[in-house]
Structure 1
């Protein structure tokens, strides 16, 4: 069920992207990327699509809050004594995320398939009269399976269940997590194919990259900590008044205007991440996209829109890695900017999402990079997560 749900959501996302920006209209899954389609569209089309996105986001989430049952997050359902997720509100919430990301929202799409997978698991657990604890486990597995389906990351989905949702590694939890994520990913192949999320050029490990990964890790962790504080503040102060639709429309109209000059800003960040991995960014453009991306993510969350931060975090890490690597390569040349970006993506994602193991596994499955990159990747993740933890302890003492 999670595999079918994730597959259908991904197909809906691609269909809306093609329709909104007028590219690859003869195929749902095409070789033309979202960034290529957006870049080929006109300035006015980008603005109009983003205004429509603001209308849908503003009125959609206002209606869910006004007329729907209170949403129950996956984390709350996993911890609840009597787990229960409202079907109508959850499905509406998931569909709004997919629609708005397809139209250009800077937030991630990964929460929607996780919610659909968790909802399916919750419904099925009730029908099979599972115990509350078994239901909690299956809701977590459903969420991981949804992630595995939409991104084709069977191992990443399972590790996400264990590290993030259940917070435990045991034989009794490992088996259902691996089984459900693998089944969901396999089912999703029917409509999405067996493809990796990112295509990498040839990259080589260098001694310079090893040293850089140790030194850059803490800097990436510091950036991740500030990013989580900014986004947490935006969510805590998100608009919930009757003015939310207007605020959403204004926010997305501004994003549309910015996208007229920087098409890389639209979407969840996959485009900038791919450009970083391809070493296809100037340092000036990478810096501009990074700053603007953080600002529009803050504004979008502040306006009351919803979405994930997995791909946005990965993209930010890739851009920071590109910038830090570009400076490093000026003094110690010989390593591609793409390699720095890849390490930066893993380190930033591991710290910002508080999932170091899952981040490493996801990057490996997202890119299918040579496993030799595990060593510098882990160096950077350890440094990043350590700095993040130190900043959290320091903040708690104040």
Structure 2
């Protein structure tokens, strides 16, 4: 069923459809670039104010993890408690007084692809503020929503057809992703593989153009930086064989993570319980962060440590368990955010554990190499976007193309395993009639 129109105002037809499409694509790229840049700068500024580290962190590539680690443990608890208040009260007020939210996927399938402007902007800002304060969810949905809401408004004003408007809304989302992470190709492929499901020319040209423009615009404020500084890593026979063997394990784990977060999000409250659960959830995360500052934020910190070989097998295992738990609990409490960077971090941490065990029998491969391959496979399976995941990780890290061989083996195995779990596990009932997929109910 398609999403109902936000208004009953009739759509005006563009006098020159091609010229209108070009204009909307250009303005969407510029707007998404500015929006992504401003959201990223806001995030860095709030992180600086909340944790009290040098103002130079706002305009440099110095890590949030280092700033959080240097902050007093008591300050982490206080900031996370404030995060719970902002998240709980913010989303409760939005649901109570704002217009109903329309997701990007809903808009792309709708006969009227527009999204409610004010509610969407507030929703995006809440995500950025809470992630800056330490929420374990991702920040990538916010710039995508800003790009999409702009594209929908521009498409309507320009009188584009429904098909063209859907394409532009999807392109706005990809442009926002490209801007905030400096991944122009990744943003375009995300549009084509995930949102539109086609690589046809009608979609490919605007997707590439908007993402390129957005990434270029954002560079004026954020610089031409990539997300992870990864040391030189070598591909070995051991790594290739490990990728083949462990790809299916990563895929099965990704399926479990996806089902867990799906159920947590579906059961999240939107009434008075939201502020209560949110405050309790984030206060507990603050207490955990007194001992594990790596838990705070969207997962970039632990992923970076994993890529650089900065984690032991035991610490990686502990962080993996805690990251999965607090990600699910935050969604269950009613907080919102993406799962791209949390999925990337979970894959890297799991790969450290699997790679450490593998190295006991076949040593010689660095833990960072395991982490990069595992992160890509987990992300590809958990978000069901194998091509996009590969492109994103290579743009995130600027790895050598030699890594394509183990990465593709692992991604292929993970994707097949994920699909197998999705097909067979829901049909399996374990003791007491419990359906582990969450699709059924206990009898």
TM range (shorter): over 0.9
Shift of 1:239: 1.8
Contact in 1 for aligned 2:144/2:174 (Cα 8 Å): yes
Residue of structure 2 in register with 1:337 after alignment? 367
Shift of 1:288: 0.4
User: Which residue among 133, 136, 147 is the counterpart of 1:117?
Assistant: 147
User: Which residue among 100, 119, 127 is the counterpart of 2:130?
Assistant: 100
5+ long unaligned stretches in structure 2: 1-30, 429-443
Is 1:38 aligned to 2:32, yes or no? no
Is 1:88 aligned to 2:133, yes or no? no
1:1-398 matches, within 5 Å, as 1-26=31-56, 28-398=58-428
Contact in 2 for aligned 1:24/1:32 (Cα 8 Å): no
Shift of 1:178: 0.4
Looking at structure 2, the residues matched to 174 and 37 of structure 1 have their Cα atoms a distance apart, in angstroms, of 40
Looking at structure 2, the residues matched to 156 and 396 of structure 1 have their Cα atoms a distance apart, in angstroms, of 32
Contact in 2 for aligned 1:248/1:304 (Cα 8 Å): yes
Shift of 1:173: 1.0
Shift of 1:26: 4.1
CA deviation string 1:243-278 (max 9, x = no partner): 211110110000000000000000000000000001
Residue of structure 1 in register with 2:8 after alignment? none
Larger CA Rg, structure 1 vs 2? 2
Looking at structure 2, the residues matched to 314 and 364 of structure 1 have their Cα atoms a distance apart, in angstroms, of 13
Looking at structure 1, the residues matched to 61 and 397 of structure 2 have their Cα atoms a distance apart, in angstroms, of 16
User: Displaced runs of 4+ in structure 1, greater than 6 A?
Assistant: none
Looking at structure 1, the residues matched to 90 and 296 of structure 2 have their Cα atoms a distance apart, in angstroms, of 20
CA deviation string 1:164-195 (max 9, x = no partner): 00011111211110000000000000000000
Looking at structure 2, the residues matched to 82 and 172 of structure 1 have their Cα atoms a distance apart, in angstroms, of 19
Q: CA 1:74–1:20 in 2, change beyond 3 Å: closer, same or farther?
A: same
Point out the more displaced range, 29-38 or 88-97. Answer: 29-38
CA deviation string 1:54-83 (max 9, x = no partner): 000000000110000000000000000111
Looking at structure 1, the residues matched to 49 and 55 of structure 2 have their Cα atoms a distance apart, in angstroms, of 7
Looking at structure 2, the residues matched to 316 and 145 of structure 1 have their Cα atoms a distance apart, in angstroms, of 25
Looking at structure 1, the residues matched to 45 and 148 of structure 2 have their Cα atoms a distance apart, in angstroms, of 24
Secondary structure of the residue aligned to 1:124 is helix
Looking at structure 2, the residues matched to 302 and 167 of structure 1 have their Cα atoms a distance apart, in angstroms, of 30
Shift of 1:27: 5.1
Looking at structure 1, the residues matched to 133 and 332 of structure 2 have their Cα atoms a distance apart, in angstroms, of 18
* Aligned Cα root-mean-square deviation (Å): 0.8
Contact in 2 for aligned 1:148/1:185 (Cα 8 Å): yes
Looking at structure 1, the residues matched to 373 and 107 of structure 2 have their Cα atoms a distance apart, in angstroms, of 33
Secondary structure of the residue aligned to 1:331 is coil
Looking at structure 2, the residues matched to 345 and 117 of structure 1 have their Cα atoms a distance apart, in angstroms, of 27
Looking at structure 2, the residues matched to 25 and 346 of structure 1 have their Cα atoms a distance apart, in angstroms, of 33
Aligned residues: 398
Contact in 2 for aligned 1:18/1:24 (Cα 8 Å): yes
Q: CA 1:387–1:190 in 2, change beyond 3 Å: closer, same or farther?
A: same
Contact in 2 for aligned 1:347/1:384 (Cα 8 Å): yes
CA deviation string 1:106-132 (max 9, x = no partner): 000000000000011011111111011
Shift of 1:397: 3.9
